[in-house]
Structure 1
Amino acid sequence: MNISTSKIKDILDEFGVGVYSECADLLRQILISSDQARSQLIHGILTNSHFNHNNQSQSLLALHQWLLHRTPEQLTEDIIVGVACSQDELGTSDYTQILLTTNNSTNEYLIPPLPNLLFMRDGFSIIDNHVFIWQMNKPTRINEPLLLHIIFQYHPHLSNCGLEIIEWQKNIDENDKEIPTIEGGDVAYLGDGILLIGCSERTNRTGIEALTRAGLFHQVIVIMIPPERCYMHLDTILSSVGKHAFTLHGPLAETMQIYTVENQYSHQKTCLKPKWISHGCNVRQTLRKLLNNPDLIFYDAKDEQTSIDEQRQCRHNVVVIDDCHVVTYAGSDADKGIVTCMTHNNMCRVGLIPFEGLLEGGGGVHCMTNAVRRRPK
Structure 2
Amino acid sequence: MTKPIQLFSEIGRLKTVMLHRPGVELENLMPDYLDRFLFDDIPFLQQAQKEHDFFADTLRKNDVQVLYLEDLAAETLVSSEAKEMFLNSYLDEAMIQEDFMRKEVFDFFMSIKDPRVLIDHTMAGLKKNELTIPPRLNLTSLTSLVEESYPFLIDPMPNLYFTRDPFATIGNSVSMNRMYAPTRRRETLYGNQIFHHHPLFAENQTNFLYHRDDTTRIEGGDQLILSDKLVAIGISQRTEVASIEKIAQTIFDTEPSFEHILAFNIGEERKFMHLDTVFTMVDVDKFTIHPEIEGELSVYSISKHQGGVQIFEERDTLENILCRYLDLPEVALIRCGGDDLTAAAREQWNDGSNTLAIAPGEVVVYDRNIVTNQLLKSAGVKLNEVPGSELVRGRGGPRCMSMPFVREV
**TM-score (normalised: structure 2):** 0.76
**Residues 231, 237 of structure 1: 8 Å contact kept:** yes
1:342 pairs with 2:405: no
Classify 1:250/1:236 alpha carbon distance in 2 versus 1 (closer, same or farther; 3 Å): same
Compute the displacement of 1:185 (Å).
0.6
Give the 3 Å change call, closer, same or farther, for CA 145–294 of structure 1 in structure 2.
Answer: same
1:145 aligned residue (185, 188, 198): 188
Cα distance in 2 between the residues matched to 1:163 and 1:27:
17
In the superposition, relative to structure 1, how do residues 73 and 322 fare at CA in structure 2: closer, same or farther (>3 Å)? closer
Check the 8 A contact 2:169/2:405 in 1, yes or no.
Answer: yes
| Structure 2 residues not aligned, in runs of 5+ | 1-45
Query: How many residues get paired?
Result: 349
- Please give the residue correspondences for 1:97-136 in structure 2 after superposition, counting only pairs within 5 Å: 101-102=139-140, 104-107=144-147, 108=150, 109-136=152-179
> Which amino acid is 2:376 matched to?
M
Once the two structures are TM-superposed, the CA of residue 159 in structure 1 deviates from its matched residue by: 3.6
The aligned counterpart of 1:239 is 280
2:120 alignment partner in structure 1: 77
Partner of 1:284: 319
* 1:15 matched to 2:62: yes
Q: Alignment partner of 1:228: what SS? A: coil
1:212 corresponds in structure 2 to 248
| Other-structure match for 1:156 | 199
For 2:50 and 2:226, locate their aligned partners in 1 and report how far apart those are by CA, in whole Å: 32
The answer for the alignment partner of 2:358 in structure 1 is 321
Matches within 5 A, 1:1-377: 2-21=49-68, 23-31=69-77, 33-51=78-96, 64=106, 67-71=109-113, 72-73=115-116, 75-84=118-127, 86=128, 88-91=129-132, 101-102=139-140, 104-107=144-147, 108=150, 109-160=152-203, 162=204, 164-169=206-211, 179-214=215-250, 215=252, 216=255, 217-262=258-303, 276-280=311-315, 282-300=317-335, 301-305=337-341, 306-333=343-370, 337-344=371-378, 347-374=380-407, 376-377=408-409
Q: CA deviation at 1:318?
A: 0.5
User: Match of 1:26, as an amino acid?
Assistant: L
SS of the residue aligned with 1:343? helix
CA 80–262 in structure 1, closer or farther in 2 if over 3 Å, else same: same
Report deviation, 1:36. 4.5
CA contact (8 A) 1:254 1:282 kept: no
Instruction: Give, in whole Å, the separation in 1 of the partners of 2:389 and 2:139.
Output: 43
**Cα distance in structure 1, aligned partners of 2:386 and 2:199:** 31
Alpha-carbon distance, 1:130 to partner: 0.9
Structure 2 CA distance for aligned equivalents of residues 6 and 68 of structure 1: 30
Given the superposition, is the C-alpha separation of residues 264 and 50 from structure 1 closer, same or farther in structure 2, using an over 3 Å criterion? farther
Counterpart of 2:22?
A: none
Deviates more, 1:218-227 or 1:275-284: 275-284
SS state at 2:338 partner = coil
- The residue type equivalent to 2:302 in the other structure is V
**Distance in 2 separating the partners of 1:373 and 1:76:** 25
Q: Which amino acid in structure 1 is aligned with residue 350 of structure 2?
A: Q
SS at match of 1:235: helix
Q: 12-21 vs 190-199, which deviates more?
A: 12-21
Deviation at 1:144, TM superposition (A): 0.9
The separation in 2 between residues aligned to 1:9 and 1:339, in whole angstroms, is: 20
Distance 2:212 2:52 in 1: 36
The 1:330/1:39 distance shift into structure 2, 3 A limit, reads same
Q: Which moved more, 1:237-246 or 1:65-74?
A: 65-74
Go from structure 1 to structure 2 and tell me whether the alpha carbon gap of 1:125 and 1:170 turns closer, same or farther (over 3 Å shift).
Answer: closer
Q: Do the aligned residues in 1 keep the contact of 2:259 with 2:304 (CA within 8 Å)?
A: no
Q: 1:371 to 1:163 in 2, by over 3 A?
A: farther
Aligned twin of 2:42: none
The alpha carbon displacement at 1:5 in A equals 1.5
Contact 2:71 2:116 in 1 (8 A): no
Cα offsets for 1:149-198 (capped at 9, x unmatched): 112223333444x46140524997xxxxxx31111111101232311000
Classify 1:251/1:357 alpha carbon distance in 2 versus 1 (closer, same or farther; 3 Å): same
8 Å CA contact 1:197–1:223 kept in 2: the answer is yes
Distance in 2, matches of 1:70 and 1:264, equals 53
**Counterpart amino acid of residue 223 in structure 2:** V
Alignment check: 8 A CA contact 1:79 1:143 kept: no
Unaligned segments of structure 1, at least 5 residues:
173-178
Q: 1:106 to 1:117 in 2, by over 3 A?
A: farther
Sequence identity, in percent?
25
CA deviation digits over 1:31-85, x for unaligned, max 9?
2x2445323312312332435xx7x66665665555544533553234201123x
Structure 1 residues 98 and 133, CA gap change in structure 2 (3 angstroms): farther
